[in-house]
Chain A
Amino acid sequence: MTHTLIRSAMAAIALLVLAALPLAGPARAQDTIKVGILHSLSGTMAISETTLKDVMLMLIEEQNKKGGLLGKKLEAVVVDPASNWPLFAEKARELITKHGVSAVFGCWTSVSRKSVLPVFRELNSVLFYPVQYEGEESERNVFYTGAAPNQQAIPAVDYLAKEEKIVRWVLAGTDYVYPRTTNKILEAYLKSKGVKAEDIMINYTPFGHSDWQTIVADIKRFGSAGKRTAVVSTINGDANVPFYKELGNQGVSAKDIPVVAFSVGEEELAGVDTRPLVGHLAAWNYFQSIDTPVNKEFIAKWKSFIRNDKRVTNDPMEAHVIGFNMWVEAVKKAGTVAPDKVIDAIVGVKVPNLTGGVSEMLPNHHITKPVLIGEIRADGQFDVVWKTPGLVPGDAWSKELDGSRDLVADWVRLKCGNYNTKTSRCGG
């Protein structure tokens, strides 16, 4: 009796599923443009990436309210690569081949970007990458809307040397590719500016490092040589909270040893008591506290979309806003979503950013951005204390490193991401 019951129930479910499929599938695929969102919603990186997924959903919803794109509605396809680097490649493949998305917005860590590169090259699709990174890369299928080192690290060091008269430097970072490359660039840059080797201390810590007592004590000792000292922090992710807590505990104030961070924004400070941290710095291309009408409008829209008044906005979110708007403009210009046409059309596209300027997509697939230095306020926001007079074009290849100095990326004229000007050959 029960067996028959179960069997018939199963059959009913199977029928329902089959019946639903044709309705949900091809019928809708015809009149929408699909946009892939490849951000971790679980695992270590969920802390940073979930917000980016939400901001993409908001942008897509907004574009649909404006009537969509090319007369079609946009449809977001969200997948969860779960902070698992190989899974990023699998999910990217799934987005492009199974769902047929026209463009993908995603990745955070450099290792996840490196893992999806072959997929985008092989399947010839488009990726918008919204996070500041170490540079030394330019791919035909990738658009880098975050900062390259010359749009973040170098101006920050210049600011400290000029305004805070810093002559002694601690380069502290998490032990992986972004901090190691950035610190290599910074070390070369500082030495070219006449900083001696004994005035540079480099320190790496593992991901999620939580006991900072020794390192903060080391920094204090390094800072007591009678020369103005600063810490340049490329510490990433969760390790920042105990690091800043220890700084506060051991009484390292920004007045004595300022810390400038490249990976700490409004979102990361949301879980920290920032009162002991007032005056420590961060270098970004966007801060929530920027007082422009477009930014105010964006913050209001974000808060009402996420239905939480306490949520903050940050730099990678702005990068997605710029990237998405550039893609929309390029699609309109090309009249199609076909990747080859969009890749050609997008170079030279200009869209307003949220800090009051107009960002442009460059032939090396990086964009122009202003560089801002902010000081942490007691409420967890940043006070902009310095900004570049104009917008800074992003360098794919650093001018500070041997080997990379001779390379240029130009996807319009040279059709190459690593053209060597010395040997006049593509391929480094």
Chain B
Amino acid sequence: MRTSYAHVMAVLLWSLGGLALAGPPAMAQSYEQALAGFAADAFSDTDAAITAVAGSGHPLAAKVIGALQDGRLLFNADDRKIYVREPSGTVLDAATGRPVAGEAPPGLKSVRLNNRLRRSVEAALGSLTLLAPEPSRRLAAAQAVFKSRDANALAALEGALARETDVRVRKAMLEARAAIILTQPSAREADRVQAVGVIRDRSDRDARALLGGLPADLPPTVQRTAAEAITAIDRHLARWEMVQHLWYGLSLGSVLLLAAIGLAITFGVMGVINMAHGEMVMLGAYTTFVVQEIMRTTAPGLLDYSLAIAIPAAFLSAGLVGIAIERGVIQFLYGRPLETLLATWGISLILQQAVRTLFGANNREVSTPSFMSGVVELGGLAVTLNRFWIIVFAGLVFALLLGVLRYTTLGLHMRAVTQNRRMASAMAINTGRIDALTFGLGSGIAGLAGVALSQIDNVSPNLGQSYIIDSFLVVVFGGVGNLWGTLVGALSLGVANKFLEPYAGAVLGKIALLVLVILFIQKRPRGLFALKGRAVEA
């Protein structure tokens, strides 16, 4: 019962604030005076105004500062009056909280912020919204106070703690209180030692930063516990760092797998050195862009589902271009690898310039659907959702491709043609048609990779170029003609790269990896998973 009572009180308090009852005259005066600071359009005046408004205790203070944070606080340079634009579009007079009669005055400008002011705003909002009805806002408020360590917020924090019932919010508030006590010279020594313990249990980077940045004039006991806590946190973080490297490696590996798996078909299975493979990836990314543009104009509400349409569209468009390239050029060059290399290199340049002429040289913006944006904290591991979904997508594409090759007639014909072309032909398989379809399949899968890459990389005409070398590396390393080899090759290269990078740097790490692969190929020329049998000797 106490729970609901506290909630009701909080809601009541909050809605009273929203109603904008004018406070006692003296208070209103200082609030209005403080407001005028926003009209000066100078950062120092705005900073003073934030502190004054937040400290005025006026019921509108949280609304005004919230509006300032979102860029909805407007001022009129002529009469120096301040307005709040509601998210709905109505303009309120910030002094009274009532809607402006008639049209909003022309020439309103929003109050500008810089980073220092954004921190002030966050700190001010933190202490103002500690009693907000929604737990998520209270949590954000507590985190803001943790960062600002504003001693003035301590009283509000104690009050909020007394009635807080949500476990997570309560924990955040305790941490915020500990942060304030720790940095306050007047606090008792025992309290501060206890505060170090609370911060230590948090054991993340922010806690590390707080403890590392403590002033040097602390009592020795506090200093000692703080130093111990830092060592403990560092050890904890170092353990998670290994997990983090592994995760980054998997993520890079999945990107490499997506880029290389199409090549594993065209180069690995068919033996065509296809330098235009990267451009198929690029075409897939541009297809995503075009699909999104069309949906933006026709069905803006469905934009979150645009990738579901982009995936088949990219597969088809890249696949069709692939078939056209195979029928138009490559089929005349089978068995002549050098000419194929040069011809496909030329095709890649043509495709790049064609896209540049059609879409312009600039990057195109592909929006990320909401389910793919953001980050999930798993212990000390920050999992970015776009990377997570790309790993899932890479796994699905890989499984699907294996299935097609293993269980469909097309897959059977493909394997037959690549293993023994003349025998397959004798069994009434139209080898030319199968060649075209195989190449189309490989290119289509490259198009799928483009959809995924559009989420993490530039959608520009050069997109494909940056992946072509890596793709060949993966296929050669994993073993030409073996899809499982491509999988293992991509993941091991990704993980190895991410474990090398922190020590050697991105440039040297890449070089080291190349050298390792070259040495490995010397030892095992056919890669990790070599094909065996008569087909290879032929």
What residues make up the interface of A, taking CB atoms closer than 8 Å to B?
A: 41-42, 44, 46-47, 50, 163-164, 175, 203-206, 208-211, 213-215, 217-218, 220-221, 223-227, 238, 241-242, 245-246, 249-251, 254-255, 258, 267, 270-273, 279, 375, 378, 383, 385
Contacts and interface: CB of A to CB of B under 8 A. Distances in A.
B212 interface: yes
Nearest to A377: B71
Contacts of B211: 226
B255 interface: yes
B115 A46 contact: no
Contacts of B115: 164, 254-255, 258, 279, 375
A211 B505 CA distance: 13
Interface string B420-459: 0000000000000000000000000000000000001111
Given A46-B361, A47-B362, A226-B211, A375 B114 contact: yes
B24 interface: no
Contact of A210 (B43, B375, B457): B457
Nearest to B230: A226
Given A47-B361, A50-B361, A279-B114, 12 more contacts: A42-B353, A204-B506, A213-B252, A217-B248, A226-B212, A226-B214, A246-B384, A255-B115, A270-B365, A271-B363, A271-B458, A273-B367
A226 B209 contact: yes
Interface stretch (B13-21, B75-83, B116-124, B477-485): B116-124
Interface of B: 43, 71, 112-116, 118-119, 122, 205-206, 208-214, 237, 244-245, 248, 251-252, 255, 352-353, 356, 360-365, 367-368, 373-375, 382, 384, 386-387, 456-462, 465-466, 498, 501-502, 505-507, 510
A272 B114 CA distance: 21
B122 A255 contact: yes
A217 B382 CA distance: 10
Which of A46, A218, A225 has most chain B Cβ within 10 Å?
Answer: A46
Contacts of A254: 115, 118
B459 A271 contact: yes
A214 to B, nearest CB: 5
A25 B457 CA distance: 47
Given A241-B457, A273-B368, A225 B209 contact: yes
B365 A209 contact: no
A249 B255 contact: no
B457 A206 contact: no
B498 to A, nearest CB: 6
A213 B248 contact: yes
B458 to A, nearest CB: 5
B212 A385 contact: no
29 contacts: A42-B361, A46-B361, A50-B360, A163-B116, A203-B506, A205-B507, A208-B465, A208-B466, A210-B456, A213-B387, A214-B248, A214-B498, A220-B205, A224-B205, A224-B206, A224-B212, A225-B212, A226-B208, A226-B212, A226-B213, A238-B460, A241-B457, A241-B458, A242-B457, A249-B384, A250-B384, A270-B362, A271-B460, A272-B363
Contacts of A225: 208-209, 212-213
A273 B374 CA distance: 13
A226 B210 contact: yes
B209 A242 contact: no
A307 B112 CA distance: 31
**Which 5 A-B pairs give the minimum distances between C-beta atoms?**
A226-B213, A271-B363, A226-B212, A46-B361, A224-B205
A227 B456 contact: no
A227 B208 CA distance: 11
Contacts of B118: 254-255, 279
A383 B112 contact: yes
B148 to A, nearest CB: 10
Contacts of B71: 378
Nearest to A211: B252
Is chain B's interface secondary structure helix, strand, loop, or mixed overall?
Answer: helix
Contacts of B367: 273
B251 A213 contact: yes
A209 B255 CA distance: 13
Contact of B502 (A211, A214, A250, A273): A214
A26 B167 CA distance: 85
Contacts of B112: 383
A175 to B, nearest CB: 5
Nearest to A276: B373
B114 A250 contact: no
Contacts of A50: 360-361
Contact of B458 (A206, A214, A217, A242): A242
B108 to A, nearest CB: 16
A209 B497 CA distance: 13
B255 A211 contact: yes
Given A213-B387, A214-B501, A385-B43, A44 B209 contact: no
A348 to B, nearest CB: 37
A258 B209 CA distance: 16
B205 A44 contact: no
A392 to B, nearest CB: 21
Nearest to B244: A217
Nearest to B248: A213
Given A279-B115, A375-B114, A267 B362 contact: yes
A41 B362 CA distance: 11
Contacts of A245: 456
A5 B297 CA distance: 52
A230 to B, nearest CB: 10
B397 to A, nearest CB: 19
A190 B507 CA distance: 25
Contacts of A205: 506-507
Nearest to A258: B115
Nearest to B121: A255
Contacts of A267: 362
A210 to B, nearest CB: 5
Contact of B507 (A41, A163, A204): A204
A226 B375 CA distance: 23
A288 to B, nearest CB: 15
Contact of B363 (A47, A223, A385): A47
A87 to B, nearest CB: 14
Nearest to A45: B361
A8 B113 CA distance: 74
A210 B364 CA distance: 16
Instruction: Specify which of B114, B214, B502 lies most central, judged by the most chain A CB atoms within 10 Å of its CB.
Output: B114
A42 B356 contact: yes
B245 A255 contact: no
A206 B510 contact: yes
